[in-house]
Amino acid sequence: MIRFLLLFLLIQGVLFGAQLLPWGQEYFVLPWTNALASICQAIVAFFDPNVTAVGKVLRSTSNGFAVSIEAGCNGVEATIVLLAAILAFPAPWRYKLVGFVIGVIAVQGLNIVRVISLFYLGQWNMKWFEWAHLYVWQALIMLDVLIVFLIWIRRVPLPAAKDGPSSGATPTPNAA
C-alpha cells in the first residue's frame, strides 16, 4: 500500500511537471486540447450546426457564446492520475497497456460530455455553469477515474502467494 502510494505520487508529479514544460505544452497538451475541441464540435454538429471550433475554443455562431478549454478541463490531469495509478500498481505490462487505453477512452469520453454540457450550461445560466465547472465535474471525472481503476485492478492477475500490501498489490486490512 505504502509502495503504491509513494510510486503513484512520484509518477503523477513527474508526469504533471513534464506536461507543464514548454515542449509538453507545445507537443502534447495543446494538440490534445485542440483535438478535444474538434471532437466536441463534431459531436455537437449532429444536433446543433451553429457551433464552430477554432483551436481550443468552442463557439456558438448563433449567440457568440464560447468556451475555451483550459488546463484542468482538457482531461490531461485525470489521464495523468489514471496512468500514474496503473503504472504504480504491480501488474503485467500487457494489462497496464490495455487498462490505460480503455481507461483513457472512458475518462476522455466523460470529459467530452463535460465540455459539451458546460458549453450549453453556460448559455443557459452562468451561475450553474460556474458550479458545474469548478466543483461538480471535477468530482465526477475523478470518480470516473476511481471506478475505472477499481474495475481494472479486479481484472489484474495477482500473485497467489503475495496478495498483501507489502507486495504493492491488493491491500489487506491486517497488514496495511
Partner 1 sequence: MQLNSLFTPPTSIYALFWRTLLWLPLMFFLWVLNAPLFHFPLALAMQALSWLGVPSWLMDVEQGARTFNFITSLKPPSGDTAFSASARVATEVNGLLYTCGLPLLAALTLAAAQKGWLRALVLGYLILLPFQLIAVYATGLKQIAFDMGPIVAQQMEFSRLQNSALAFIYQYYTLIMPPVTALLAWFFTHRETVQRFVRDGLPMKAKPA
> How far is 70 from 10, CA to CA, in rounded Å?
24
Q: How far is the CB of 46 from partner 1 (least distance, A)?
A: 26
Residue closer to partner 1, measured from CB, 10 or 42: 10
Query: How far apart (Å, rounded) are the C-alpha atoms in residues 107 and 141?
Result: 7
Nearest distance in Å: CB 5, partner 1: 7
Say how far apart CA 66 and CA 44 lie, in whole Å: 14
Q: Which is nearer to partner 1, 54 or 147 (CB)?
A: 147
Tell me the C-alpha distance between 132 and 127, whole Å. 9
Q: Point out which residues bind partner 1 (CB under 8 A).
A: 1, 5, 8, 12-13, 16-17, 20, 71-72, 77, 80-81, 134-136, 138-143, 145-147, 150-151, 153-154, 165, 170-174, 176
Our CB check for partner 1 shows the closer of 97 and 146 to be: 146
**Gap between the Cα atoms of 171 and 162, Å rounded:** 10
Q: How far is the CB of 43 from partner 1 (least distance, A)?
A: 23
Dihedral (C-alpha) 99, 100, 102, 103: value to the nearest 10 degrees?
100
Amino acid at 20: L
Residue 65, classed as helix, strand or coil, is: coil
User: Of the two residues 10 and 54, which places its CB atom closer to partner 1 in the complex?
Assistant: 10
Cell of 124: 443557459
| Shortest distance in whole angstroms from residue 38 CB to partner 1 | 23
Which residue's CB is nearer to partner 1, number 66 or number 142? 142
Q: Report yes or no: 74 and 33 within 8 Å, Cβ to Cβ.
A: yes
For the CB of residue 15, give the shortest distance to partner 1 in the complex, in Å.
10
